[in-house]
Amino acid sequence: MANYQRTDRISEEVKKHLSDIIRELKDPRIPLMTSVVSVSVTKDLKYAKAYISVMGDEETKKEALKGLKSAAGFIRKEIGSRVLLRALPEFHFELDNSIEHGAHINELLQSVIKNTSSEETEEN
């Protein structure tokens, strides 16, 4: 149990620093609207899977992933200098569309609310 808490704390710490590092990258393929949704570090600290959200079309997302993958070595080195770990994880980046999905759901809800309130106004 204590080991899971440790990896959760490390994952959260890595996520925080990874977000800062991504903002500092000067790669034009990585848009400003790129955020780290979550990071999952393995128990042995050898691998870290980072779930990344990128606002934009599919081509923008693919290019952002390419940029992150090409910067993985630099990112690993930077994490090593910012987080004191016995082993530095190798990063794997995956797209996470949960933020866009949430925004779409919110748009749908707002549309339903607007339609419901306009129907109520017409009835009165």
Strand partners, 69: none
Helix (H, G, I), strand (E, B) or coil at 83: coil
Examine the pLDDT at 120 and tell me if it is beyond 80. no
What pLDDT is stored for residue 2 in this prediction?
57
What pLDDT is stored for residue 68 in this prediction?
96
Examine the pLDDT at 22 and tell me if it is beyond 80. yes
Spatial distance between the Cα atoms of 7 and 20, rounded to a whole number of angstroms:
20
Spatial distance between the Cα atoms of 98 and 54, rounded to a whole number of angstroms:
10
What pLDDT is stored for residue 85 in this prediction?
85
**Residue 123: pLDDT band by 50, 70, 90 thresholds?**
low
Topology adopted by domain 2-97? GMP Synthetase; Chain A, domain 3 (3.30.300)
